[in-house]
Amino acid sequence: MQKLLIFTIFIILIPFSNVQAQKTSGSFSGGSVLFGYDNRTCDASLEGTIRYDSSSSKVEYCNGTVWAAPGNSCAVYNIAFTNEFDTGKAQYITSNISQVDTNACTTSISISGGGSPEYRICSEASCTAGSPAWTSAAGTVDDGDWVQLRLTSSASPMTTLTASLLIASLRNDWEVTTGPDAMLVFITSAAYTGAEVGGIGGADHKCQTLAEAAGRPGWYLPWLADESDLSAPGSRFTQSTLQYQLLNGTKVADNWTDLTDGSLDNYIDRDENGNLVSSKNVWSNLWSNGNRINTTGCSYWSSTGPTGNNGQNSRVDSQWSYAGSQSCTASNHLYCFQQANDPVGPHKKVFISSASYTGAAVGGVTGADSKCQALADAEGLGGTYKAWISDSNGLTAPSASFTQASIPYRLVNGRRIADDWADLINAANPTTITIDETGALQVNKKVWTNVHTNGNQINLSGNCSDWGSTAGSAYNGESWRLDSYWSYSNATACSTALHLYCFEQ
């Protein structure tokens, strides 16, 4: 009460004191009252002190770090800077402009990190008024100010530099990653039967994990198609204007157009570690222009029969991609191609359940949701999860019960499934949902759904008596499919154990 009384008297008296630049003060428990203007730096020795800054006509108190407005908690709310990818090398890169919310406080600001980072404080959203200066020195920032960052990008390709902005105790990181000089290409060191490929999702996983294990940056996709045109490189690949190169720098093609013109400049004969791999057959089912040949793809690359189309890495003519067909029991390699960066920003996580359930064991839609949530919680994924499933009540279908996200949907390994809800329900995805909550690959699995690809219920009865019975049959999707069959393909006996799709809300 003593502090409150003195502070109230102080506010009443100051307007009438007309004191400028006096250094008189009055003491009270916890700090001092500084009458008139005082330019001492706020630090721990002045914590709790109150002053009137006649230069700004503000009453302020020292919080131990900076002079701040009294009566408010100096909570700092997160500001966001969008990470930059595929930037030029050794260039000034500037961030987006983000507004500071400090709950009406003045607080400290500082910056550190790679690329000699700097910040500037602006009075408005365009950061043009008054030509605010760039600085790397610590300072203060007011509630409502706007902040922009910049740094010099790395001189090396595929290198990330991070600027860390500290406002009070809240750290905000901004990453800038330089683009590649070329798109890397390799043949896998391992060979696989048609069944061992594990579908398009399995081939995706193999290329990516081999690249990561060898320390190769970026995203990788296989030169492979199944029975759907959606799986072909012509539909899924970045059609790059950069050179395609082996890991030793040897040029394979000048760009996408050159890659798909029927001939290569050199053999694709180096694996993910840079080792020579010569005279090998490679699963493909692709013409050299990147389009699917036919349905000869070892039953969606999940079977040892009957046959699959292949290329030969000892050829630079069109037969590098298609040289004939072989029994799916043969062990062949894969070609893996680097893609453009796909920055993993805010997104909703998606996985196929590692466990499978009979129709009765699903336990209704609420039971399916609970199973998804428990699996996510066990892996520490965070968030709220629901199953892509519907019963006899159409309101349980994803179109009615899901949060329809405006941000991307991604597998737990970061691979993009859809740009947003509208993209998710357009009947075709660029990636199969074949990665479970642990990050492991689930090959050739069916999934209980009773849901069309648009998120609506299929019908009233195809749901194992509201997912509580082993009698009858229910509608399912096929996780290895990129087309509409991922959600709805056929019906399966309710006594069969199938998996679930789980979506973060």
430, 417 contact by CB (below 8 A): yes
62, 47 contact by CB (below 8 A): yes
Structure tokens at 323: 């040289």
- Please, which pLDDT band fits residue 31 given cuts at 50, 70 and 90? low
Pick the residue with more confidence: 163 or 11?
163
Mean pLDDT of 164-172: 90
The pLDDT of residue 179 is 82
Percentage above 90 pLDDT, the chain: 72
Q: What are 291-315's pLDDT values in tens digits?
A: 999 988 999 999 988 999 999 999 9
pTM: 0.71
The pLDDT of residue 11 is 37
For residues 277 and 483, give the distance between their C-alpha atoms in angstroms, rounded to a whole number.
34
- From the CB of residue 316, how many other CB atoms can be counted at a distance below 10 Å? 14
Domains along the chain? 2-68 (no CATH), 84-178 (2.60.40.10), 183-339 (3.10.100.10), 348-504 (3.10.100.10)
The pLDDT of residue 345 is 79
Tell me which H or E stretch contains 164: strand 160-167
For residues 123 and 126, give the distance between their C-alpha atoms in angstroms, rounded to a whole number.
9
**Which residues make Cβ contacts (< 8 Å) with residue 189, sequence separation at least 6?**
210, 271, 272, 273, 275, 277
pLDDT at 479 over 50: yes
Q: State whether residue 383 is helix, strand or coil.
A: coil
pLDDT at 104 over 90: no
For residues 167 and 119, give the distance between their C-alpha atoms in angstroms, rounded to a whole number.
12
Q: What are 245-282's pLDDT values in tens digits?
A: 999 999 999 999 999 999 999 999 999 999 999 999 99
- Please, which pLDDT band fits residue 89 given cuts at 50, 70 and 90? confident
For 133-160, give the DSSP string: PPB-S-EEEETT-EEEEEEEPPSSTT-E
First-last CA distance in the chain: 48
Cis-peptide into 408, omega within 30 deg: no
pLDDT at 16 over 80: no
Least confident of 49-53, 99-103, 260-264, 457-461: 49-53
Strand-strand pairing, 183-187 and 244-245:
parallel
Q: What are 38-61's pLDDT values in tens digits?
A: 778 888 888 888 887 666 667 777
- Please, which pLDDT band fits residue 432 given cuts at 50, 70 and 90? very high
188, 334 contact by CB (below 8 A): yes
pLDDT at 389 over 60: yes
The pLDDT of residue 438 is 97
Pick the residue with more confidence: 49 or 244?
244
pLDDT at 343 over 80: no
pLDDT at 216 over 80: yes
Q: pLDDT averaged over the chain?
A: 89
**Which residues make Cβ contacts (< 8 Å) with residue 447, sequence separation at least 6?**
352, 388, 433, 476, 477, 478, 479, 498, 499, 500, 501
